[in-house]
Chain A
Amino acid sequence: MITKKDVEYVAALARLEFSEDEKEELTKTLGDILEYAKKLSDVDTSSVQPTAHILPVNNVFREDRVEPSLGRDRVLENAPDKSKGCFRVPRVI
């Protein structure tokens, strides 16, 4: 079974915040899901290659030819915050 610490770790990686109650609940429900998925480990896969893709298709390429870009106004149209032709975010540097 997983612990509350595991939930907190995964939540931090996903940038999600939970209340103590939610963490308790998730520890149980997420744990149940993982337990259920564990059943897959019962199958002997020693002679099976890991699946890289679910479709039986390989080698889909595009040619190296320039196509028009979007234009800056449209690029920034949905940005929650913008400035000087750029997306603006809280300071990270």
Chain B
Amino acid sequence: MKYETVIGLEIHAELATETKIFCGCTTRFGGEENTHCCPVCLGMPGVLPVLNRKVVEYAVKAGLATNCKINRFSKLDRKNYFYPDLPKAYQISQYDLPLCKEGYLEIKGDFGSKRIGITRIHIEEDAGKLLHDAEDGSTLVDYNRGGVPLIEIVSEPDMRSAEEARLYAEKIKSILEYTGVSDCRMQEGSLRFDVNLSVRPEGSSGLGTRTEIKNLNSFRALVNAIENESARQVKVLESGGEVVQETRKWDDVTGKNTSLRSKEEAHDYRYFPDPDLVPVVLDEEYIDRIKRELPELPDVRSRRYVEEWGLPEYDAGVITASLPLASFFEECVKEYGGDPKAVSNWVMGELMRMLNEKGIEADGIPFPATHLAGLLRLVDDGTISGSAAKRVFTEMFETGEQPKVLVERLGLSQISDEKVLTEVIKRVMDKNPKSVEDYRSGATKAMGFLVGQTMKETRGKANPALVNKILKQLLDE
């Protein structure tokens, strides 16, 4: 039997605020343990949390950018459970009245275009970090991250493959980057994925029993976890077993997929409205203002590149998926002033290759966009050849230096001076009378040899197009 995988994603994104959701402690990453804490985020008795205005703004922005409806009346609720990463024994989240609901976004792939529904987006506080103390086997708790604001974006179970889930997650990431809602630093855990997954016989419309895989923090882990869990469930069903509803853990380093079923207490969070926090009521004016502040989103920008700049749809999609890459590209096009396609060829080719090779994200490109524009102009005006430009590019990536400086240092500038080249070519012809004669008596292939000799004479620096032109003139005289 053929099976179909049904996937829903919950994405947690850390918001780009300066301070935590209910207190003035900094959200800066990487401080000494327990130095970004105060009585509010430590959950001391008698304190009063007050909602960060910016958190609401960012969440609404994320909602509008993903076609959500914004709830005019929203509230915060307590989600109760005991775990040491939660000093209050409850997490402040949103239960039945989230800020945003019923949105969607489009993903594009070999399957064409597909709409993925977004059930809701709500705000909540992050938990602290648990560390294992190898010395005595106890657990240590760092509450710096406790109270850092998050949005949780819950999708409909609309995805059918790891590929679709990845495209959806990447789309969410780029939208959050474009809107400035989150900086999406994956390596710092500011974007995390929970997968809900079930399988069912292809063509059936009911849903199988689902499992949940929590806390994946890279696209690769997301894809691997989905493929592995989907195969596991199919195997269970094919051997006549039943999938158990449970939370599972995926370790992307070892490739282990394990059950997290503990003594299992029912998840009974006993949500109730947080009496410390008053409702959030938003009016049209507020929502319109946020709407007006929305920047050009990746889909729109991609269409602009295709329609106005003539980029292939694929290139436009890849470049606009990453805001820093798109910004780099756009700055370069403006600075260069020539064909945007020429810039896109360099970005899609050499630049992406180097970034991948070095494992660098697009926000870490080691030279400014003006350098690449300068390099393209050096090719256009014949100062260097295309292959020399690649060498300069590699060097530019290593050193961040100006292309002009590098051309000089590497001795790559092309000889495009007609007078100089004519002299060299005449010399080459004098030295090789036989080839000249061959050519003139009809063996035109001899020209290739003469071009080669000229290049050799100039140590490869002669402008090949010009050499061909001048040589032909002289030979045909």
Residues of A bordering B, CB below 8 Å: 12-13, 15, 51-55, 57-72, 75-76, 83-93
Asked if B408 CB lies within 8 Å of chain A CBs, one says no
On whether A92 and B133 interact (CB within 8 A), knowing A52-B75, A64-B18, A85-B32, the answer reads: no
Of listed B25, B37, B270, B278, residue having the most chain A CB within 10 A: B278
A68: chain B residues within 8 A (beta carbon): 24
User: Smallest distance from the beta carbon of B105 to chain A beta carbons, Å?
Assistant: 27
On whether A69 and B36 interact (CB within 8 A), knowing A83-B133, A87-B84, the answer reads: yes
A71: chain B residues within 8 A (beta carbon): 35
- The contact of B137 among A53, A75, A91, by CB within 8 Å, is A91
Asked if B54 CB lies within 8 Å of chain A CBs, one says yes
- Are B17 and A93 in contact, CB atoms less than 8 angstroms apart? no
- Are A58 and B279 in contact, CB atoms less than 8 angstroms apart? yes
- Are B273 and A52 in contact, CB atoms less than 8 angstroms apart? yes
- Are B139 and A62 in contact, CB atoms less than 8 angstroms apart? no
Interfacial residues of chain B within 210-226, with CB under 8 A of chain A in the complex: none
> A84 to B32, alpha carbons, bound, how many Å?
10
**Chain A residue, CB-CB nearest to B82:** A15
Asked if B238 CB lies within 8 Å of chain A CBs, one says no
- Are B141 and A53 in contact, CB atoms less than 8 angstroms apart? no
- The contact of A72 among B32, B82, B137, by CB within 8 Å, is B32
- Are A88 and B26 in contact, CB atoms less than 8 angstroms apart? no
Report the contact-size class of chain B (Cβ under 8 Å from the partner). 35 or more
- Are B133 and A52 in contact, CB atoms less than 8 angstroms apart? no
- Are B137 and A57 in contact, CB atoms less than 8 angstroms apart? no
Query: B7-38 CB contact bits vs A (8 Å, 1 = yes)?
Result: 00000000001110001111000001111111
Residues of B bordering A, CB below 8 Å: 17-19, 23-26, 32-39, 42, 50-54, 56, 73, 75, 80, 82-84, 97, 130-133, 136-143, 265, 268, 270, 273, 275, 277-281
User: Smallest distance from the beta carbon of B133 to chain A beta carbons, Å?
Assistant: 7
On whether A65 and B18 interact (CB within 8 A), knowing A52-B279, A54-B275, the answer reads: yes
On whether A53 and B279 interact (CB within 8 A), knowing A62-B51, A62-B53, A83-B138, the answer reads: yes
B51: chain A residues within 8 A (beta carbon): 60-62
B35: chain A residues within 8 A (beta carbon): 69, 71-72, 75
Main secondary structure of the interface of A (DSSP, over half): loop
Question: Can you name 24 A-B pairs with beta carbons within 8 Å?
Answer: A13-B268, A13-B270, A15-B82, A53-B275, A59-B278, A59-B281, A60-B51, A61-B50, A63-B53, A65-B18, A66-B18, A66-B25, A67-B19, A67-B23, A69-B25, A85-B32, A87-B34, A87-B141, A88-B139, A89-B138, A89-B141, A92-B83, A92-B84, A92-B139
A91: chain B residues within 8 A (beta carbon): 132, 137-139
**Chain B residue, CB-CB nearest to A76:** B34
- Are B53 and A64 in contact, CB atoms less than 8 angstroms apart? yes
> A72 to B38, alpha carbons, bound, how many Å?
9
B52: chain A residues within 8 A (beta carbon): 61-64
- Are B39 and A70 in contact, CB atoms less than 8 angstroms apart? yes
A64: chain B residues within 8 A (beta carbon): 17-19, 52-54
Known: A60-B277, A62-B51, A63-B52. 13 other contacts (CB 8 A): A60-B50, A62-B24, A64-B18, A66-B24, A66-B26, A67-B25, A69-B35, A71-B35, A75-B37, A86-B142, A87-B140, A89-B140, A91-B139
A59: chain B residues within 8 A (beta carbon): 278-281
B133: chain A residues within 8 A (beta carbon): 83-84, 88
User: Smallest distance from the beta carbon of B384 to chain A beta carbons, Å?
Assistant: 49
